[in-house]
Amino acid sequence: MVMDINEIREYLPHRYPFLLVDRVTELTLGEAIVAYKNVSINEPFFNGHFPHHPIMPGVLVIEALAQACGILGFKTVNKLPADGYVYYLVASDNVRFKRPVMPGDQLVLEARVERTKRGIWKFACRATVDGELICEADITCAERKVA
């Protein structure tokens, strides 16, 4: 299953500059997702992080992983933000960064469902660039009705 940016926008409420998933290349409902973010020098955060040595902030790598988790959750339960649902990032545990993400990198986002119960989802996540581990984390999200 592949999702382009138009379908991603149906499953994530985020918009520029906080939509951090460009494409989904693999998705197995209830199990796992592989997506990516193309990192461009035109990203607004590079103006201040850092002007002479631009690197993607680690918190945005975690946010990109959490967005991939949200897509997997929404697709699995067949719900949409348009129906009044949202996935909140409620925890990131065991986070480890291995190297910085630079302009020109394609950040590959992988998430695997560890468990889910009553709208609380726990995912094992990793981000890579060219097969090299960038970050790994356990991410917890909560599905909630907001409207």
The token pair that represents 125 in the structure block? 């996540």
Query: Whole-prediction pTM value?
Result: 0.97
CA dihedral 52, 21, 129, 25 (to 10 degrees): -160
The sheet that has 32-38: what strands, in order across it?
A: 23-28, 32-38, 106-117, 120-129, 132-145, 85-97
What pLDDT was estimated at residue 69?
98
Catalytic residue among 14, 49, 52, 53: 49
Instruction: Please name the fold of domain 5-145.
Output: Thiol Ester Dehydrase; Chain A (3.10.129)
The answer to whether 84 and 145 are in contact (CB under 8 A) is yes
**Structure-token match 């468990």, residue found:** 115
Of the pLDDT bands very low, low, confident and very high (cuts 50, 70, 90), residue 1 is low
Q: Where are the domains of the chain?
A: 5-145
What pLDDT was estimated at residue 147?
67
pLDDT digits (tens, 9 = 90+) for 26-37: 999 999 999 999
What pLDDT was estimated at residue 57?
98
Answer yes or no: 52 catalytic. no
Q: Which residues of 30-67 are buried (b: 16+ CB within 10 A; e: fewer)?
A: eebbbbbbebeeebeebeeeeeeebbbbeebbbbbbbb
How far is it, in rounded angstroms, from Cα 121 to Cα 88?
10
pLDDT digits (tens, 9 = 90+) for 112-132: 999 999 999 999 999 999 999
Mean pLDDT of 42-62: 96
